[in-house]
Amino acid sequence: MRNLYIDFDGVILDTINTTYKMLAELGIDHKDEEKTKEFYASLDWKKVLEETPIINDGINCIHKILESNKFNVAILTHVNSLDEAVQKVKYIRKYLEDITVIPVPKAISKTKMVRSKDAILIDDYSGNLREWESEGGIGVRFSLKLNGKGFRVIDKLDQILDMDYETVK
């Protein structure tokens, strides 16, 4: 059974748009790395996750994926703080009791936390997917606009069930 890793931000929850709006309200340009890093490290992640919408029925789609028994599924998410990791785990546990959640410090590549070779990563960020594929993994871009940017693309997580990965080396 192939390992399937699913990103959190921008794939399960729309935290990127939520936090970018918060940055704008504070007058912080998200391209200002230092101020943005401080902002994310001090966020009330419990509040952010409560206020952020689920993308395209993502939680129910993950239930479908788990029920299919086609993949070993885990959530692989970058985090900026310990509080962010704790709150994301608590959030996932409310909906998915039996799934592994792997918080990855933002400064570390996802490929350094898990074995990426022959595993699938669903992520909205092309940079993560390029690193993943450079380590022998299979990248699938999550994009509501179906813009694959050179990768296989889905806009709903359960679409992964209809793709053929058995022939991919």
Q: Is residue 167 part of a domain?
A: no
Q: Is residue 168 part of a domain?
A: no
29 and 86 part of one domain? no
The band of 169, judged by pLDDT with boundaries at 50, 70 and 90, is very low
146 and 86 part of one domain? yes
Q: Is residue 142 part of a domain?
A: yes
36 and 63 part of one domain? no
What is the pLDDT at residue 166? 61
Lowest mean pLDDT of 7-11, 38-42, 115-119, name the range: 38-42
93 and 151 part of one domain? yes
Q: What total of structural domains would you count in the chain?
A: 2
125-132: long-range contacts (C-beta < 8 A, 24 or more apart)? 125/7, 125/10, 126/150, 126/151, 128/7
35 and 100 part of one domain? no
E strand or H helix that includes residue 18: helix 15-25
Range of the domain at 32: 15-51
157 and 88 part of one domain? yes
Per-residue pLDDT tens over the stretch 119-166:
999 999 999 999 999 999 999 999 999 988 989 999 999 999 998 776
Query: CB of 44 within 8 A of CB of 50?
Result: no
